[in-house]
Amino acid sequence: MLSRRAFAAGVTLATGAALTRASDAQTRALGEPQRFPDPETRSPLSRQLGGRPGFVTLNGGSLPWRMKGDVKEFHLVAEPVKRELAPGSTAHLWGYNGSSPGPTIEAFEGDKVRIFVTNQLPEHTTIHWHGILLPSGMDGVGGLTQPQIQPGETYAYEYVLKKSGTFMYHPHADEMVQMGMGMMGMFIVHPKDPAFRPVDRDFGFVMANYEVHPGTWVPDTSIMLEFNTWAWNSRVFPGIDPLVVRKGDRVRIRIGNLTMTNHPIHLHGYDFRITGTDGGWVAPSAQWPEVSADIPVGAMRCIEFTADEEGDWAFHCHKSHHTMGPMGHGIANMIGVRQSAATKRITRLLPNYMYMPMGEQGMAEMQDMAAHGMAPPENTLPMMTGEGPFGPIEMGGMFTVVKVRRDVAPGDYTDPGWFEHPQGTVAYKVDGNGRRA
């Protein structure tokens, strides 16, 4: 997943496809809805953005627009989608334009936008433009500010973008189900002035939680807290692409949260500042130094740092159950218990689950589950996974790597592979005399 080849191929393919479809779209009345069925990270929309760096949606992309007079027109289609969470596990979600999350909308402060929303779900929906200042009737709250958009219908929202910032879009109709099924997307409004807080790399994602019971495909949206799938842009480790950064770059990462709990997003190797929220830009006088940004639900945080230290830097939610796969929870604790005698009995009690004597000495031994021929339920990821340059990484869920390298070209996001540590800069084994073993 973090391999060089897969990532580069994805970028090339997606860029080509996007351009073709976008020009087709010029000929259709509502704009042909650009679809993003594959979970690759697309190249930024630099061409439409007048050559500015643009925004990189992790394992997604931005939605091209077309001009209609002085209005930028976008076309979103709410619909059921299939999303590969990571190789080996696919969820049947609801999203926009073939994907969950939907494509990112990018525009500029002062733009007038018109967004067509076509409902191809089995039930009514709306879209709320979270954080954007607009007339009450464009706010997208079903029943309160507009009628619901019925299946088959298309609605138009139009408003002027009064300020730059980091926003989201999501339904304000049957919210527990529709957000719980993956309906969400980012809405980036770039400042009119290119000199306002410029960065070299601008990444982002929105967080979701799903309970996809082992062996099933559809999230159980009645679950309130005990989710087994903690996702960034509806992907989980090792399915989340790395954030590739050139040494010395100014980096912004924009993170939204539409789960049911705070996520403290921890970056190794750096301290950073939170420079913006979905309410606007944070004044320098108000910024705190942090290594974990606690992202509240229904909020966005932009973190910024200068990438002055090369390496492979872990980047993850710091809640330990959120960097695990679905098979880790609710398993009986066996630390210190001799298990051989118990196995047969337990297998009889739980005939629908595989059972192996595990965790007698911690859970790291479970890495070898596959090697022992013990398969998890169909479509379900193991508790810990991911192969690194020094062996298993033992993670899952909300985890990826920020890869800082000196030999990356501006605008290149190709995975550079694993970091080659300079001699003498890696933790080392010592003998009883404290010398390198």
Q: Which of residues 146-165 bind a copy of itself (CB under 8 A)?
A: 146-149, 153-157
| 426 sits near a copy of itself (criterion: CB under 8 A) | yes
SS (H, E, C) 322-363: HHCCHHHCCCCCCCCCCCHHHHHHHHHHCCCCCCCCCCECEC
SS (H, E, C) 169-202: EECCCCHHHHHHCCCCEEEEEECCCCCCCCCCEE
Q: Which of 24, 26, 248, 271 binds a copy of itself (CB under 8 A)?
A: 271
| 124 sits near a copy of itself (criterion: CB under 8 A) | yes
| 220 sits near a copy of itself (criterion: CB under 8 A) | yes
| 194 sits near a copy of itself (criterion: CB under 8 A) | no
Please give the Cα distance from 254 to 278 (Å, whole number): 10
Q: Among residue numbers 234 through 263, which ones bind a copy of itself (CB under 8 A)? A: 258, 260-262
Output the CA torsion sign for 189, 191, 194, 199: negative
| 10 sits near a copy of itself (criterion: CB under 8 A) | no
- Minimum distance from residue 345 beta carbon to a copy of itself (Å): 18
Please give the Cα distance from 60 to 14 (Å, whole number): 10
| 354 sits near a copy of itself (criterion: CB under 8 A) | no
**Beta-bridge mates of residue 392:** 387
> CA nearest 60: which of 241, 272, 219?
241
| 215 sits near a copy of itself (criterion: CB under 8 A) | no
Residue 299 token pair: 């909020």
- Minimum distance from residue 50 beta carbon to a copy of itself (Å): 26
Q: Among residue numbers 376 through 415, which ones bind a copy of itself (CB under 8 A)? A: 383-384, 386-395, 401
- Minimum distance from residue 79 beta carbon to a copy of itself (Å): 13
Output the CA torsion sign for 347, 352, 356, 362: negative
Q: Among residue numbers 73 through 92, which ones bind a copy of itself (CB under 8 A)? A: 92
- Minimum distance from residue 8 beta carbon to a copy of itself (Å): 21
| 200 sits near a copy of itself (criterion: CB under 8 A) | no
Q: Which of 214, 298, 357, 417 binds a copy of itself (CB under 8 A)?
A: 298
Please give the C-alpha separations between residue 416 and each of 41, 48, 113, 245, 390, in angstroms, as whole numbers: 15, 27, 37, 10, 17
| 330 sits near a copy of itself (criterion: CB under 8 A) | yes
